[in-house]
Structure 1
Amino acid sequence: MATATAEPEIDVRAAVSAFKRSVEPRRDALRQSFAEVGDHMSRAADAIQADQAAGRSVIPEIDYSDIAAGTVSDETKAAIRRTGCAIVRQVYPETVANDWFAELCDYLDTNHYEEREVEKRSLDKYFSALKAGKPQVFNVYWSKPQVNARQGESLARTRSFLDRLWHYEGVFDPDLQCAYADRVRRRVPGDTTLGLSPHMDAGTVERWIDPGYQGVYEAVFAGDWRSYNPFDGTHRLRTEEIPSPAVASVFRTYQGWTALTRQGPSDGTLKLVPVAEGISYVLLRALQDDVAEDDLCGAAPGRALGVSREWHPEMMECLVSIPEVRPGDTVWWHTDICHAVADEHTGSEYASVIYIGSAPDCPKNRAYLPRQREAFLAGKSAPDFAAMDFEVDFVGRATEADLTDLGRKQMGF
């Protein structure tokens, strides 16, 4: 008798084979399209490496004050659409972020998180294989710094600005967020356990076999990758992800985090492929003749969508570390952007962030809020994550009384 874990594997392979057979009439167009997008990635890599060598910024950077004043240039907006990512400086004052970091450390220490975490480590399927010693990603969601950072007015303006770069009419409200509780990172100097190889989140095999994703990537699968617009939200709410601790069940326009400490390229932090069309390269690569009919370059449900030098060499040449960020700065990347985490933290201080993406108000995201609200009130883990439920008896946990009017709206109260 097949086990519960084996059945989805069989179904997925059959679905992959069926999808590849369905695009067989377009095989020549898909070959030509992949050759074109591969050349596009190679040219992008050359430009990225030249910019880095000349000391020019590869990832668009904005001062929050320009967002608040409405003075961000059209050129900068175009750069964000082109790269799929951005750094927004000083969304929060550095002193505020410093205080949040101190408070977060006290919250973890007072409640003896590390001792408790050892007992439940096996529940965290996404990060458990990476942990050799002390935790670097902490499965807490409801500390006061996290709740306050999510509901900040300046963060709301930042997300509204970024979401308005999308085609959103009839899809989502760019001016209201649905809070999406995620975890925190506090990486210690010398850590070598948190490295994450290049990957994309928000679905793996679903991107090829789910009808909603097929609508999102219709132009790519038709062999016309240049017509694909990564910032068109038209079909995004129709996607259905295979449930997994590695996959968000909400719609996010961007993944992101808010820095609580200074960190740069040597501090074991984020790397990005700043090419918004990169997803077309990954999708088309899996449809080429040298990939087995039931395979998608190793993509499997329940895991992040891996990008490797074996299958995606042109994309790997585009991978760059983010520049140094300060406490209160934020980093954003489109959910189709390939990213990684450096293998080693060679700096001398903690590298800490609060993970906060952008999940704009829409029916799909509103449907998530009741379960998340229940978890918040009980101090349980957020619904999309492993049910470790550390915070049910944590001292100093945020409560409903800590929510601002905006925070209450974002949480669906």
Structure 2
Amino acid sequence: MQSALFSRRLTTSLTRSCLSRPSYGGRCAATAAPVQKKEGDISDAFASLSGMQFTPLEPRFADLKRRLVTGNEEALYRSWSRLLASLREEIPLIAELGSKVVPEIDFSEINNASAEFRAEHKKRGVAVIRNVVPQQEALELKRELREYLAANPHTRAFPKDNPQVYELYWSPSQVKARSHPNLIKAQRFLMEFWHSKDPNALISSSHPLIYADRLRMRLPGDAKFALGPHVDGGSCERWEEEGYGRGRVYDAIWQGRWEDYDPWESSCRLPVISDLYQGVGACSMFRMSQGWLSMSETGPYEGTLLVNPLLSRATAYFLLRPFFSPKKAAADPTAGTYEEAFLAPNNWQLETEPSSWLQGATPGHGQELRAVLHPHLNLPSSMVHVPKVQPGDYVSWHCDTIHAVDNVHAGKSDSSVMYIPACPLTPSNAEFVVRQREAFLNGWPCPDFGGGIGESEHVGRPGVEDVERIDAEDGMRAFGLKPFDSDEAGLTSGQSEVMNRANKILGFYD
């Protein structure tokens, strides 16, 4: 009863706020937007799409590297050698399996997932969940998207001359998909692969929050949305003390114990700041996994996703790479693969005087990887396509996973997806949702992305009642539109406390 009362108060408050403003398409229009990031599109999020070159960074990064490894030099070198040996063993297996290395499960089976699926998902960090949304329903979402775009031809997109990725966050289809009960259940299933070493940590992986990301409708022949191997969630921040260092996330790697690094431990991620530079599209929310809902039948080379299923090994490698340099250069430095003598551990040495290189990292942009910068990953072999997907399938990858898209869409039909990550309930995530909720109500872009008026003047933009119609419980809570029930049965003390704190942050309690 109390939760319903709070929900009605919030909805009434939001409705009154809207009624005091001019409307477009029956929805509240923006007045004065809050402080936003600069306007932009997906090309601003990545150095390569922006035309930038990877170069050494400011001298302070050399000092940072020195602080990270001082006193652990010998252990770090031995760890590096073990890592290179492990990569030599694992990459040929991945290359042989190709798309088969990505574990799959049907949505109907997630309540009783097999031990084999669970083990492979923990090792690989990627998964395909089939039939999360019925096919016809997913195709209807795509049809509605096209109608929304046709009604709003001024929508920002990349590239401008032949749009493939749209700066849309609040279309009716995206709102329906994010609050769909099946998708929320799939996200809960994926997030519960994580664990916390602190039993009282303020986090609940059983209570997803939404993160409003973009969508892709990639057309046959496109070669401009050629986003190579990269990792989201910051770049330089992974090395910086005020970034991932706040949670000591990668300490085992810096200390020469890469095998002890646990990519599934959640409590260390809670204090992390992953967007120190306010980059356009740089994520500041804790996303346990990234994902997309397919609205097309799409296979390898048809404009789809590639992933690197090495997870802990690949993470350790790209984090350690800036500390090591070859004694003897490769015969052909631009080659996609390299001779064994160049890759051999005895050809690599720990820098005695650290450089300011963080290979592939640029402040304010995502972490990118290249064969010339990260030769031991053998990216041409270790990046594999996800299996062929159908409309309604959900593809997920761990937040540290290296991923890319096909350089060229060589298929014959559109490759369309809505990006929908899985985000747990935490105090900082709740703080982000407060800002995101305001953006939803006003049609502004998600706070992490390029600013401007966004969809505030779009015709047909949905509102609170549309979320409530789809899922009046978990869907409304995920949007920050209804309080969490901290008296729910089976909660840990940490879950109950984070719910109470989130409810206060979201404005439901004084």
Match of 2:63 in 1: 18
Whether contact under 8 Å (1:195, 1:268) holds in the other structure is: no
Q: Which moved more, 1:171-180 or 1:269-278?
A: 171-180
1:4 matched residue in structure 2 = none
How far does residue 322 in structure 1 lie from its aligned partner after superposition?
1.0
* 3-state secondary structure, aligned to 2:418: strand
Is 1:81 the equivalent of 2:122? yes
| Other structure's SS at 2:63 match | helix
CA contact 2:195–2:264 (8 Å) conserved in 1: yes
* 85-94 or 382-391, larger mean C-alpha shift: 382-391
| TM-aligned CA deviation for residue 264 of structure 1 | 1.0
Q: How far apart are 1:286 and its partner, in Å?
A: 1.2
Residue 229 in 1 paired to residue 262 in 2?
Answer: yes
Change (3 A) 1:246 1:42: farther
Contact (CA 8 Å) 1:245, 1:384: kept in 2 or not?
A: yes
Residue number among 395, 399, 408 corresponding to 2:459 in the alignment: 395
Letter in 2 for 1:77: R
Q: Does 1:165 align with 2:193?
A: yes
Residue 62 of structure 1 is aligned with which of 105, 110, 125? 105
Q: Which residue identity is paired with 1:391?
A: E
Taking structure 2 as the reference length, the TM-score comes to 0.73
What is the TM-score when the length of structure 1 is the normalising length?
0.90
Once the two structures are overlaid, the 10-residue window that deviates more, 333-342 or 383-392, is 383-392
C-alpha RMSD over aligned residues: 2.0
C-alpha displacement of 1:212: 5.2
Corresponding residue number in structure 2 for 1:38: 84
Q: Which residue of 1 aligns with 2:229?
A: 198
Could you tell me which residue of structure 2 aligns to residue 153 of structure 1?
Answer: 181
| Runs of at least 5 residues in structure 1 that lack an aligned partner in the other structure | 1-11, 122-127
1:367 aligns with 2:427: no
Unaligned runs of 5+ in 2: 1-56, 327-350, 482-510
Distance (Å, rounded) in 1 between the aligned partners of 2:89 and 2:202: 33
How far did residue 388 of structure 1 move?
3.8
| Superposition deviation, residue 42 in structure 1 | 2.3
Match status 1:320 vs 2:384:
yes
Matched, 1:219 2:268: no
CA shift in 2, pair 1:132/1:396, >3 Å:
closer
Q: Is the 8 A contact 2:129 2:393 kept in 1?
A: yes
Deviations along 1:126-185, one digit per CA (max 9) or x if unpaired, are xx6xx2621110001111110010011111111111111111442421111111111110
Choose 1 or 2 for highest CA Rg.
2
Partner residue, 1:49: 95
| Deviation, structure 1 residue 323 | 1.2
Deviation, 1:223, is: 0.4
Displaced runs of 4+ in structure 1, greater than 4 A? 289-292
Q: Which residue of 1 aligns with 2:358?
A: 296
Structure 2 partner of 1:287:
323
State the AA in 2 paired with 1:41.
L
Q: Retained in 2: the 8 A contact 1:212–1:235? A: no
Deviations 1:375-398 (A, max 9, x none): 111111111100143311211111
CA distance in 1, matches of 2:267, 2:205: 14
Partner Cα separation in structure 2 for residue 308 and residue 37 of structure 1: 18
Distance in 2 between residues matched to 1:33 and 1:94, nearest whole Å: 47
The yes-or-no answer on 1:408 pairing with 2:476 is yes
1:378 aligns with 2:442: yes
Deviation at 1:211, TM superposition (A): 4.3
Q: Is the 8 A contact 2:181 2:475 kept in 1?
A: no
Query: Quick one: which amino acid aligns to residue 100 of structure 1?
Result: L
> Is 1:138–1:184's contact at 8 Å kept on the other side of the alignment?
yes
For 1:238, the equivalent position in structure 2 comes to: 271
1:139 and 2:164 matched: no
The DSSP-based 3-state class of the residue aligned with 1:176 is strand
Q: Deviations over 1:55-105 (max 9, x none)?
A: x711010100001xx210122111111001111001000010010000001
**Contact 1:201–1:305 at 8 Å: present in 2 too?**
yes
Q: What secondary structure, in the 3-state scheme, does the structure 2 residue paired with 1:343 have?
A: coil
Give, in whole Å, the separation in 1 of the partners of 2:370 and 2:360: 10
How far did residue 20 of structure 1 move? 2.0
Mapped to 2, the partners of 1:347 and 1:365 lie a distance apart of 38
